[in-house]
Structure 1
Amino acid sequence: MSSYNRPASSHYLEVCISSIGYHTEPHTVLTHFERFGTIDHYNFTSPDGRGFVFISYTNLEGVDRCMSSRPHRLDGQHLYVKRAIPYTDDNPREHIDTTRDLLIVVDSINVDEHFLKCLREYFSFYGTLYACKYCHEANFDYILVEFADYDQVDRVILDKPHYFNEKPLNIMKCTSTNKIIMNMKYASKNPDSVDINENFLKFQYNLKSTSFQKKDDSMSEIDLEKEVSRLETLLKKTTENFNVTRKQLEDDCCEQLRKLNADANRSHQLQQDLEQEYTKLLVEYKSLTRENEELNEQYLQAELENFEITSYYEQILADVTAETAQLEAEYTEKLEIVYANDTVTSASSRPTSASRTSTSLTPPTIPDEDNDENEE
């Protein structure tokens, strides 16, 4: 940045405020803007304070706080606040127009990447910078610098002049008016034609700025009477139309009110029916709730009895099972004793092999028939 000689801070301490609400009082406006700093003086462009308001602070910090606190709202109305820029003949609308773009005319400067980089670094001091690019118009070339806020552009304009390599930069707001002026200026190299074109533009601007001024042309009495008669006729016709329209509106309003009353009565009746139905359902619900509670108590009592019976049955079953197991053990023991006794008895009564042999060799005795008969 050694190629730049940044000027000292601006001493413009005035802000311009517009879009003030119709019902907002002047003291309300002053009270609102006194929060940002001490007000040195103020100027209302209209007696009721509903036009433009110019407020001057005692220091630059008050202006900066006021601008950084945007948006401003007062009595429900959005206020438009900007720094007050003095009027100049070179750019007659620059104190009115608002834009976020800055225009730097390239006349005798060699535009390269280094130059654009230096511009970006320099103007980034004023805030967020979106773009810095080379552009071309019909009759001249320029550098377009895009900022994030219109207040940054106003600060750059107030801090003029700006220098590059100790040469002043031709800086202005990038508006259609300034582009037209520069196109006409560079369209011809004849200085006289340039002055004529600029004077023509200034005349057009002055004509537009004074187009709303009141005319003081005098009127004759006949024309005045005709105008009064015309206005009376127009007023009468307007009054008749107003009465007819008002009657129609009153009839429409009465009809709408009747419909609304009927709807309100139906809604009230429906609400009463719903309340009665709700009361009935609430009684039934309470009755069913009591029945449910009684059934729950009966169910719990039955469950308790079932539990007691089940416990008693399980105890009996356990006792029977134990007794059965004991009887089975005794039966098994006695059965083993019986088997043991039978085994011993059969072993003692069994004959030897010699006796069996002799017995088998002895012939069987034949019974005597006589003995049998005698016995009979």
Structure 2
Amino acid sequence: MGDRHLFLGNLCHVSIECLRSHCEKYGTITDLSINRDNDNNIYHCFGFLAYQSAHSTTEFMSTRPHCLNGEEIFVKRALPRATATIPERLVVTNRLVIRQATKYEKRSLRNYFQKLGDIRKFDYNKGFIDFEDYDTVDRILLARPHYLDDRQVHVTKFIPTEQTIVDENDNDDELTSLVEEETFKIKYECLVKQFEEYKETKENEVNFLRKEIERLREELSDITQVKLDKLIKNQQSFHNQFLQHRLSTSGFTHAQMCESFLQSTTSRKRRTTEDEQNMF
């Protein structure tokens, strides 16, 4: 990403067909998308473009400005999340910050970065370089790491803040104005894009969890019903066995009582008969 990917802004009045037709002039497109809300809010009209070749990206950036339907669209390289911080991806600036610049020889440092783009101003002591084109800064960040005399040169973008104080002797009003203007052009578009991606991810996670809870609930209900049916069946079986045992026991006792009664009656009759015969 970055060497082939671009961020596009100010697309509220540009159709994707028109945008594709324009961008295809510079090479084969592998991906193109436009994001905007229903009200065409200026901060919500942005898109992403990816070329098959890095050469197409370079040519596209070198032929700025790009105007469609009478309006200039904003374009910048899309720095990869893996190697660039959020401020580096959001901010558009001509100023490159060199950490601990005085560790390196001044002329060597200037000559090295002069090969990468046209320099407007070089402040060795403060450790920054202002280039003529903000795209130069993005290209330098994409090409990290940089080495000078076998030592790594750590670079980043100048990140403006509300507390940024411009030296009265530097005459940087033009650069500061440009930084603030370009920064606000893409700040909200990128933040909205990241928020929508985050929101979509979380919504998918929530939906998955809801389905999983429902599945577990149904599974638990099925298990409970099976165990309940088994318990009822066992109770019914035990009840039937108990009744059968009671009936069989009751019948056996009744038969014994009848047999005893008959035997007792026969014995009494026999004794009565013998007694009568003795009397005569």
Pick the TM interval, shorter chain. Answer: 0.5 to 0.7
Q: What is the deviation of 1:135?
A: 3.6
Aligned length in residues: 167
SS of equivalent to 2:103: coil
Pairing partner for 1:173 from 148, 157, 160: 157
Cross-structure match for 1:104: 98
Cross-structure match for 1:67: 61
Q: What is the deviation of 1:116?
A: 1.7
**1:132 corresponds to 2:122:** yes
Q: What is the deviation of 1:134?
A: 2.3
Counting only pairs closer than 5 Å after superposition, residues 309-324 of structure 1 correspond to structure 2 as: none
- For 1:90 and 1:62, the matched residues in 2 are separated by 22
Cross-structure match for 1:56: 50
**1:117 corresponds to 2:107:** yes
Q: What is the deviation of 1:11?
A: 6.9
Counting only pairs closer than 5 Å after superposition, residues 140-219 of structure 1 correspond to structure 2 as: 143-176=127-160, 209=191
Q: What is the deviation of 1:88?
A: 5.6
Q: What is the deviation of 1:131?
A: 2.2
Q: What is the deviation of 1:45?
A: 2.8
- For 1:89 and 1:56, the matched residues in 2 are separated by 18
SS of equivalent to 1:93: helix
Change (3 A) 1:69 1:209: closer
Change (3 A) 1:149 1:11: closer
Cross-structure match for 1:240: none
Q: What is the deviation of 1:175?
A: 1.9
Q: What is the deviation of 1:172?
A: 0.2
The alignment yields a C-alpha RMSD, in angstroms, of 3.3
- For 1:88 and 1:129, the matched residues in 2 are separated by 28
SS of equivalent to 1:127: coil
Q: TM-score if structure 1 supplies the norm length?
A: 0.40
- For 1:168 and 1:92, the matched residues in 2 are separated by 22
Q: Give the gaps of 5 or more residues in structure 2.
A: 165-186, 200-280
1:35 aligned partner, one-letter code: K
Contact 1:21 1:77 survives alignment (8 Å):
no
- For 1:39 and 1:47, the matched residues in 2 are separated by 24
Counting only pairs closer than 5 Å after superposition, residues 1-376 of structure 1 correspond to structure 2 as: 12-22=3-13, 24-46=14-36, 51-87=45-81, 91-106=85-100, 110-111=103-104, 115-136=105-126, 143-176=127-160, 209=191
Could you say which structure has the larger radius of gyration? 1
Q: What is the deviation of 1:145?
A: 0.8
1:128 aligned partner, one-letter code: D
Q: TM-score if structure 2 supplies the norm length?
A: 0.52
Change (3 A) 1:171 1:131: same
- For 1:120 and 1:134, the matched residues in 2 are separated by 9
Q: Give the gaps of 5 or more residues in structure 1.
A: 1-9, 137-142, 181-204, 215-376
